[in-house]
């Protein structure tokens, strides 16, 4: 696939760690934004403890670390429209979609209508999504 300026590859970022306890979640976000700047076809996947990265109401004031959870809600502005969360990972942790931030993007082909970019997917569906990628990066 070409976008007029070069090759577009399907990039998939797999996030499996809770935020703040390790640096993985923040580093993943940094790298995602780099690929977005090069207009690549990006999918974000959150499985295992990675689902904790997307919880709403994060408040890091008393641990003295930067709260980067707001960055996820800005991903739509970087044309990142495919964020996949594994259902089974949520269930094992007693979480539901209501515990997560809403992630949206504005669809330029549909009069900039606001649409969901977060999708809950089952294990087998996720297997297929990952299998279709050109580049897979793990965090």
Partner 1 sequence: MSVLHTVNKSPFERNALESCLRLAKAGSSILLFEDGVIAAMQNTKFSERIAQAMHDFSFYVMGPDVKARGLGEDKLINGIQVVDYNGFVDLATEHDAVQSWL
Which residues sit at the interface with partner 1, rule CB under 8 A?
17-22, 48-49, 52, 55-63, 65, 67, 69, 92-94, 99
Label residue 94 left, alpha or beta by phi (over 0 means left) and psi (-120 to 50 means alpha).
left
Min dist CB 125 to partner 1, Å, is 21
Nearest to 106 by CA among 97, 116, 96: 116
State the minimum distance, in angstroms, from the CB of residue 40 to partner 1. 29
Complex with partner 1: residue 71 or 79, whichever CB lies closer? 71
Q: Which is nearer to partner 1, 3 or 22 (CB)?
A: 22
Nearer to partner 1, 9 or 55 (CB): 55
Could you tell me if 29 and 74 are in contact, meaning their C-beta atoms sit under 8 angstroms apart? Answer: no
Q: In what order do the strands lie in the sheet with 135-138?
A: 118-121, 82-86, 41-46, 10-15, 135-138
The least CB distance from residue 98 to partner 1, in Å, is 12
Nearest distance from C-beta of residue 5 to partner 1, angstroms:
39
Between 41 and 49, whose beta carbon lies closer to partner 1? 49
Q: What is the DSSP letter of 58?
A: -
Q: How far is the CB of 57 from partner 1 (least distance, A)?
A: 4
Contact call for residues 72 and 19 (beta carbons, < 8 A): no
Tally of residues, the chain: 139
Residue closer to partner 1 by CB (options 42, 90) is 90
């Amino acid at each position: 696939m070409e976008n007029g300026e070069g090759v577009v590859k399907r990039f998939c970022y797999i996030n499996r760690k809770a935020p703040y306890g390790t640096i993985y979640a923040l580093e993943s976000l940094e790298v995602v934004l780099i690929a977005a700047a090069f207009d690549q076809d990006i999918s974000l996947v959150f499985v295992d403890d990675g689902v904790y990265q997307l919880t709403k109401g994060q408040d890091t004031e008393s641990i003295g670390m930067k709260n980067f959870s707001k960055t996820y809600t800005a991903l739509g502005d970087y044309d990142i429209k495919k964020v996949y969360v594994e259902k089974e990972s949520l269930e094992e942790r007693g979480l539901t979609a209501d515990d997560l931030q809403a992630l949206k993007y504005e669809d330029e082909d549909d009069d900039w209508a606001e649409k969901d970019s977060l999708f809950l997917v089952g294990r087998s569906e996720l297997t297929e999504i990952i299998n279709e990628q050109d580049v897979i990066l793990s965090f």
